[in-house]
């Protein structure tokens, strides 16, 4: 079973002396693969020790950038939507945990 990888990964694998079996995804495969990758990277971030969290955050960010482009949005669009939602509903700075609703 394969997975979506960063663009230079096949090149890096070849440089290590192995010939990777890879292909370019069809358009209809790309978005579902990005969603799966976002979940994968989020899980890696959740499990990462503090010393590795920055790199894992960078991985999540890179997948988010790709998802934005694949859905015809810019990172500016996302930031504006986040600002709007923060103004309407708040952020997460207050660390509020809802016990019941």
State the pTM of this model: 0.90
Contacts of 24 (CB under 8 A, 6+ apart): none
Helix, strand, coil percentages, rounded to 5, for the chain? 65, 0, 35
Task: Tell me the HSE value of 1 on the side-chain side, using a 13 A CA sphere.
Answer: 2
Q: Coil, strand, or helix at residue 46?
A: helix
Residue ranges covered by each domain of the chain = 25-88
Q: What is the pLDDT of residues 35-77, one digit of tens each?
A: 999 999 999 999 999 999 999 999 999 999 999 999 999 999 9
pLDDT band at residue 7, thresholds of 50, 70 and 90?
A: very high
């Amino acid at each position: 079973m394969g997975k979506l990888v960063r663009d230079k990964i096949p090149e890096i694998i070849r440089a290590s002396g192995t010939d990777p079996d890879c292909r370019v995804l069809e358009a209809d495969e790309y978005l579902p693969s990005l969603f799966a990758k976002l979940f994968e990277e989020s899980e890696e971030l959740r499990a990462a020790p503090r010393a590795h969290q920055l790199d894992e955050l960078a991985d999540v960010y890179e997948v988010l950038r790709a998802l934005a482009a694949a859905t015809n949005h810019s990172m500016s669009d996302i930031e504006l939507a986040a600002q709007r939602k923060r103004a309407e509903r708040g952020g997460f700075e207050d660390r509020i945990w809802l016990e019941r609703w």
